[in-house]
């Protein structure tokens, strides 16, 4: 995807509702699309992806202005709002579709992701090693319309209250200086 002066990041860190809700609040992020990447089925549905049989991960495609927010900053947020040490799971969400993954769009993104992962490993923030998959981006399949802006439209839904809202609150507190000013 190339929009003039913009870049794209594709990230999987569990349920895409969580990532979408956080990234939509960041200054410099132009658009966030929930969808599926990394699988072998053309145009998968949410129901198919949930089986784990398609090989896809739930991801967000973040279109951003690198003049306002860098890929590195997006990764800093990414590694704050999910657990990169659990293979194919985030909390109670279990399956390959919930894996931690960075689908890099360029050699520069790959190098930056490797650098950030190495720095985090050196810091010893987690007891277990980081298992985030780092692979070239492939085909992105947008999720069904009802997934778009899910948290904003369904803040009282149980999963949103129990899982999404705490991640949004954590990101707001830690990255307050990077939030949009409305």
Phi, psi torsion values for 34, nearest 5 degrees: -80, 145
Cβ-contact 147, 17 below 8 angstroms: yes
Buried b vs exposed e over 71-104: b needs ≥16 C-beta within 10 Å?
bebbbbbbbbbbbbebebebeebebbbbbbbbbb
Q: In a 3-state reduction of DSSP, which class is residue 10?
A: strand
- Marked catalytic residue, from 15, 18, 50, 160: 15
Indicate if 15 belongs to the active site.
yes
* Structure tokens given for 180: 């949009």
Residues noted as catalytic: 15
């Amino acid at each position: 995807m190339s929009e003039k002066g913009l870049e794209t990041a594709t990230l999987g860190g569990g349920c895409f509702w969580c990532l979408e809700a956080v990234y939509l609040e960041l200054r410099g992020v132009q658009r966030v699309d929930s969808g599926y990447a990394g699988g072998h089925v053309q145009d998968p549905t949410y129901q198919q992806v949930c089986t784990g049989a398609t090989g896809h991960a739930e991801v967000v495609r973040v279109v951003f202005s690198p003049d306002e927010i860098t890929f590195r900053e997006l990764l800093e947020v990414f590694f704050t709002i999910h657990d990169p040490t659990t293979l194919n799971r985030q909390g109670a969400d279990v399956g390959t579709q919930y894996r931690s993954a960075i689908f890099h769009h360029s050699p520069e993104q790959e190098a930056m992701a490797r650098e950030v992962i190495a720095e985090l490993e050196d810091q010893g923030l987690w007891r277990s090693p980081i298992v985030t998959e780092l692979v070239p981006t492939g085909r992105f399949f947008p999720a069904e319309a009802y997934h778009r802006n899910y948290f904003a439209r369904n803040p009282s839904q149980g999963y949103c209250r129990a899982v999404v809202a705490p991640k949004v609150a954590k990101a707001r507190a830690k990255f307050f200086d990077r939030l949009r000013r409305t």
